[in-house]
Amino acid sequence: MFNEPINRKGTHCTQWDYVEDRFGQKDLLPFTISDTDFRVPSVVESALLKRMNHPVFGYTRWNHTDFKSAVSRWYQNRFSSFIKEEWLVYSPSVIYSIKQLLTLLSNPGDGVIIQTPAYDAFYKVIRGNQRNIILNDLIYSEGKYHLNLPELAEQMAKPENKILLLCSPHNPTGRVWTQEELKAIIELAQTHKVFIISDEIHMDILREGQVHRPLTDFIQKNVAVVTSGSKTFNFPGLIFSYAILPDSDLRQRFLQQLKEADGLSSTSVFGLTATIAAYEKSQEWVNALNHYIDNNIIFVTEYLKQHHPEIIVTKSEATYLMWLDCSKLPVSMEELQARMIHIGKVAIMSGAVYGESGKNFLRLNVGCPRKKLEDGLNRLTQSLMRKELSS
């Protein structure tokens, strides 16, 4: 089912219809923004069509057992994790949740630690809310990333650094933090009274044998998990996410801000419907999705080993985003991007988008049918083999 090609052009699709916005040219084959080219699960499509057939789309409530029990059961079945239903709150997006938590838990000028390379929206939401970005660069060695705990300890010890914005699993490097790594981060945060916001939106997309551990399994104080089914089931356009806030006071403040300051007491009926249907009936679909992505990653790895062995594939543990080290290529990233755009007609994200430490990398979205991936890799090869740029 994941091999099915679906024409997304003409749907106001960010990845396909507006590729020119980021790459300066139309009609490129895109492997860019982190959504997939896959059809949503059939149970989700059916639930949406059923709701669409009801002719009234009025104000819609999220705060009920249908939603909360669907989430809690998903965590129990998927991660053997216990989530109290009362901990759950609605949010239109993960970045909106992060924004609210930043403003509730810190003041302008305070420091927010992020582990880089980092999702580019992290930089924007921190700066946009007048907080200072504190860069905790991950350690890159032999195609894998590791925590820099000594530097993190020094940064957390500074009283002005109030928050760690954790990405778990990590985008763009694809790391799944081990239980030992998470416990080490938590111990430092507890010692220095640093609040952890854990973005776990990629939690379901795991390589075979990998295990995601929600941070609330370990602590229920000074922690918030922000996440959504949108990455897993490919419905970010339906505008629905949620947060797990074990602290009742923070939860009340979050909801007050949501409802009173921002006027968001009602949710997207379609986002709610899709999330409930996905979490109730799509376990096997996610297993099949992960198997397909695993094979896509194997395909890319073998292709690059054969055709471009100088490109180092970072060990992938999660997400449908591959992180490719291009530092040994005989061309700069700037020239590589120009060649891909003008010769190969292919759009692949430059790692520089995710910070200085990513400047020699590409982030390749492999959440697509194999035929598209084959085409994209051939275009990459064409870009590297030809030196002249077309007009």
pLDDT digits (tens, 9 = 90+) for 284-339: 999 999 999 999 999 999 999 999 999 999 999 999 999 999 999 999 999 999 99
Are the beta carbons of 149 and 184 closer than 8 angstroms?
yes
**Separation between Cα atoms, residue 38 and residue 278, nearest integer Å:** 14
Which of 240-249, 256-265, 301-310 comes out lowest in average pLDDT?
256-265
E strands along the chain, which residues? Answer: 29-31, 88-91, 111-116, 132-137, 139-141, 144-146, 161-167, 195-199, 223-227, 241-244, 312-313, 321-325, 346-350, 361-365
Task: Give SS3 for 40.
Answer: coil
Question: From the CA atom positions of the chain, what is the Rg in Å?
Answer: 21
**Distance of alpha carbon 197 from alpha carbon 376, whole angstroms:** 35
DSSP 146-213: E--HHHHHHHHHSTTEEEEEEESS-TTT-----HHHHHHHHHHHHHHT-EEEEE-TTTT-B-TT----
Per-residue pLDDT of 362-386, as tens digits, reads: 999 999 999 999 999 999 999 998 7
pTM of the shown model: 0.95
What are 255's two structure tokens? Answer: 């909801």
**44 contacts: CB under 8 Å, gap ≥ 6:** 233, 235, 274, 277, 278, 282
Residue 391 has what pLDDT?
40
Mean pLDDT of 186-209: 98
Percent of the chain with pLDDT over 70: 99
Q: Domains for the chain: give ranges and CATH numbers.
A: 17-39+282-382 (3.90.1150.10), 41-280 (3.40.640.10)
The strand pair at 195-199 and 361-365 is best described as unpaired
Using an 8 Å Cβ cutoff, are 291 and 310 in contact?
no
Give the dihedral of Cα atoms 92, 96, 98, 99; nearest 10 deg: -150
Asked whether the predicted pLDDT for residue 221 surpasses 70, the reply is yes
The confidence score (pLDDT) of residue 265 equals 85
Percent of the chain with pLDDT over 90: 97
